[in-house]
């Protein structure tokens, strides 16, 4: 799986080669629709060392649709809020800055994808992102750390993939439908077809959004288990990404070899320290159930 050779499965489809993604990304304002301004502003606010709940509520209120989605989410059973939440100030106070950021990022990224979400390949990308975010959060709940920040890091790990979908709405989903590889092999396919892989795109995009360094590192290195970040978030999101695929939330389908000989879960958590691996593996059944419920709850939030 670590080979850089292009996939013969994809090559057989002979898809037309579009202009290099790198040049199109560098002209984001004319060719790559930006993430909704309110989501960018909110992420910027929360990147500051000090930010008030009032500032966060006011930023969300600037976009009526996102404000409505946040209130709707705050009133769902998943978040454990009792009683009716009718104001953004109340929702922000109850849920906290971290959770509000995670909700706004989820809503903003979904809106960013727009009509592309009708495509099966894009739906798989979206569900993988949700599952990675939920898994990162569940890891934090079990091993320690800020669960809401972990969710946001997991949600944004594949922001480069979302950027490539928007930049190449035909070629990139077609690649994902045709390919039967992942990891480094899929990155090689992306570079061959688009001139840039989704990790490079994510790194560039998170820089443009002025996101904290930890998000930039995760976007660039989440497929590189040997990479070391300033915190343990990179290793945890890398593990969360692999566990999400193991749970069935994959972007490209498993190969025949993977179906016949599944990767042992013990190998997927190796980037974590030994004591954390032991703890996580002892609770893996509960983790899988919690992630599945969280993904379903998030999907229900957008229905209707």
**Over the stretch 168-189, which tens digit does the pLDDT of each residue have?**
899 999 999 988 777 788 899 8
User: What pTM did the predictor assign?
Assistant: 0.84
- The pLDDT, as a whole number, for residue 47 is 65
Domain map (residue ranges) of the chain: 27-115, 119-304
Split at pLDDT 50, 70, 90, the class of 129 is very high
DSSP 142: H
In the predicted model, what is the mean pLDDT of residues 43-59?
76
Contact 252, 176 (CB under 8 A): yes
- The pLDDT, as a whole number, for residue 8 is 32
Three-state helix/strand/coil letters over 172-199: HHHHHHHCCCCHHHHHHHHHHHHCCCHH
The helix (run of H) or strand (run of E) holding residue 92 is helix 88-113
Split at pLDDT 50, 70, 90, the class of 13 is very low
Question: Distance between CA atoms of 65 and 226, rounded to whole angstroms?
Answer: 41
Closest residue by Cα to residue 126 from 175, 161, 84: 161
- The pLDDT, as a whole number, for residue 199 is 93
Contact 182, 202 (CB under 8 A): no
Question: Distance between CA atoms of 291 and 273, rounded to whole angstroms?
Answer: 22
Each residue's pLDDT tens digit, 218-238: 999 999 877 777 789 999 999
- The pLDDT, as a whole number, for residue 6 is 35
Contacts of residue 3, defined as CB under 8 A and 6 or more positions apart, other chains included, come to 184, 185, 188
In the predicted model, what is the mean pLDDT of residues 59-84?
76
Instruction: State the first-to-last Cα distance of the chain, in angstroms, to the nearest integer.
Output: 40
Question: Distance between CA atoms of 113 and 265, rounded to whole angstroms?
Answer: 31
Q: Is the pLDDT score of 147 beyond 80?
A: yes
Question: Distance between CA atoms of 211 and 220, rounded to whole angstroms?
Answer: 13
Q: Is the pLDDT score of 214 beyond 70?
A: yes
Question: Distance between CA atoms of 71 and 295, rounded to whole angstroms?
Answer: 18
């Amino acid at each position: 799986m670590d080979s850089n050779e292009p996939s013969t499965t994809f090559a057989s489809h002979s898809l037309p080669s579009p202009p290099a993604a790198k040049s199109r990304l560098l002209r984001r304002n004319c060719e790559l629709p930006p993430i909704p301004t309110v989501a960018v502003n909110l992420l910027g606010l929360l990147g500051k060392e000090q930010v008030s709940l009032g500032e966060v509520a006011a930023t969300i209120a600037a976009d009526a649709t996102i404000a409505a989605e946040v209130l709707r989410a705050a009133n769902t059973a998943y978040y454990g809020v009792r009683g009716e939440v009718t104001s953004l100030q109340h929702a922000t106070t109850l849920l906290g800055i971290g959770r509000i950021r995670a909700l706004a990022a989820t809503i903003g990224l979904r809106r960013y994808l727009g009509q592309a979400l009708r495509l099966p390949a894009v739906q798989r990308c979206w569900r993988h992102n949700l599952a990675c975010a939920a898994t990162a959060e569940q890891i934090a709940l079990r091993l320690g750390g800020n669960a809401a920040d972990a969710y946001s890091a997991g949600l944004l790990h594949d922001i480069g993939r979302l950027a490539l979908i928007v930049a190449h709405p035909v070629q990139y989903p077609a690649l994902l439908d045709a390919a039967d590889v992942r990891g480094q092999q899929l990155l090689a396919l992306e570079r061959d077809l688009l001139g840039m892989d989704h990790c490079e795109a994510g790194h560039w995009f998170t820089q443009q959004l002025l996101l904290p360094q930890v998000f930039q590192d995760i976007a660039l290195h989440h497929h590189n288990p040997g990479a070391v970040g300033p915190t343990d978030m990179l290793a945890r999101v890398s593990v969360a990404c692999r566990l999400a695929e193991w749970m069935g939330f994959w972007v490209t389908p498993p190969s025949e070899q993977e179906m016949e000989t599944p990767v042992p879960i013990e190998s997927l958590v190796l980037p974590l320290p030994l004591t954390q691996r032991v703890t996580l593996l002892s609770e893996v059944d509960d983790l899988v159930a919690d992630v599945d419920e969280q993904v379903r709850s998030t999907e229900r939030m957008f229905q209707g």
